[in-house]
């Protein structure tokens, strides 16, 4: 398999549930990089909670964050591409205020939320950047929104559909996310592939969530994790092992290592 670039999701793919990278996954990625393969992180996370893992792996490639809404430079963290989403704010807050849900707003300058939760506490610990505001979001002063996250605790496709004319919707089992129209991890990947002069057919992507479907469907080789849902698996060319069992490394070891067999002359 002639692959020159690999795009890797983080939660449920690279990371275990403990938010750690296994030794096997790390070694598999190192070996890929030593073969000259470009390795990228493509995540729904914001930059501050992506970069510690990027540094841990020693990556020198840009980071795709917030489902493709932003791309960050590897060395400086500077935003090299940003795609804000523009909703009717009054309508959004009216609809979410009526619903017993939490709302997290990811902006270019940090996050704003109705209330904190375990995940936000983890983000604060890892990214060393607490929320800029917690409380009634109608009173918050923010701009350049890159992603809205609405946590209802249950699948909410009828609720999320209320925003389909304004945003790209990603439905999860516990709510939904809203990003700018035509923005996805895949849209960001296409830009980076062009910049590196790599064909999509020479690239692979590995993920497990509904935010990974576009990249798995369109890239040369799409790989779904065993822990992915059926719609995600259906979009992929391969299904590898569970993220708790190093499914990422399993695929890399099986399909992406180049063999250098000596030729007898």
Question: Is CATH 3.40.50.1000 correct for 5-82+183-256?
Answer: yes
Tell me: the pLDDT tens digits for 188-235? 999 999 999 999 999 999 999 999 999 999 999 999 999 999 999 999
Just give the CATH number of 89-179: 3.30.1240.10
What pLDDT sits at residue 263?
A: 34
What pLDDT sits at residue 209?
A: 98
Averaged pLDDT of the chain: 95
CA separation for the pair 240, 92 (Å, rounded): 39
Domain with CATH 3.30.1240.10 in the chain: 89-179
**Angle subtended at Cα 233 by Cα 204 and Cα 8, rounded to the nearest 5 degrees:** 35
CA separation for the pair 1, 47 (Å, rounded): 31
Tell me: the pLDDT tens digits for 138-176? 999 999 999 999 999 999 999 999 999 999 999 999 999
Domain with CATH 3.40.50.1000 in the chain: 5-82+183-256
Tell me: the pLDDT tens digits for 51-104? 999 999 999 999 999 999 999 999 999 999 999 999 999 999 999 988 889 999
DSSP reduced 3-state for 102: strand
Determine the number of helices (DSSP H) and then strands (DSSP E) in the chain. 9, 14
Which residue, chain included where needed, has tokens 């709510």? 175
- Phi/psi region, residue 125 (left: phi>0; alpha: psi -120 to 50; beta: rest), is alpha
The reported pTM is 0.95
């Amino acid at each position: 398999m002639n692959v020159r670039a690999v795009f890797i999701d983080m939660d449920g793919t690279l990371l275990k549930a403990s938010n750690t990278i296994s030794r096997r996954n790390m070694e598999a990625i190192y070996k890929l990089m030593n073969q000259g393969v470009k390795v990228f992180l493509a995540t729904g996370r914001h930059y501050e909670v992506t970069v510690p893992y990027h540094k841990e792996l020693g990556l020198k490639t840009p980071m795709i964050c917030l489902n493709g809404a932003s791309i960050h430079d590897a060395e400086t963290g500077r935003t090299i591409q940003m795609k804000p989403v523009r909703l009717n704010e009054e309508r959004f807050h009216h609809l979410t205020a009526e619903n017993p849900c939490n709302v997290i707003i990811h902006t270019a300058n940090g996050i704003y939320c109705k209330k904190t939760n375990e995940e936000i506490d983890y983000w604060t610990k890892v990214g060393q950047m607490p929320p800029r505001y917690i409380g009634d979001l109608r009173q918050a002063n923010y701009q350049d929104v890159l992603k809205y996250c609405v946590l209802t605790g249950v699948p909410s496709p009828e609720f999320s559909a209320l925003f389909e004319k304004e945003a790209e919707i990603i439905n999860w089992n516990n709510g939904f996310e809203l990003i700018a129209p035509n923005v996805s991890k895949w849209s960001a990947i296409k830009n980076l592939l062009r910049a590196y002069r790599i064909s999509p057919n020479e690239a692979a992507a590995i993920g497990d969530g509904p935010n990974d479907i576009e990249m798995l469907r369109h890239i040369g080789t799409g790989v779904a994790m065993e822990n992915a849902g059926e719609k995600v698996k259906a979009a992929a060319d391969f299904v590898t092992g569970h993220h708790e069992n190093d499914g990422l490394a399993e695929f890399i070891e099986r399909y992406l290592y180049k063999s250098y067999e000596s030729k007898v002359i």
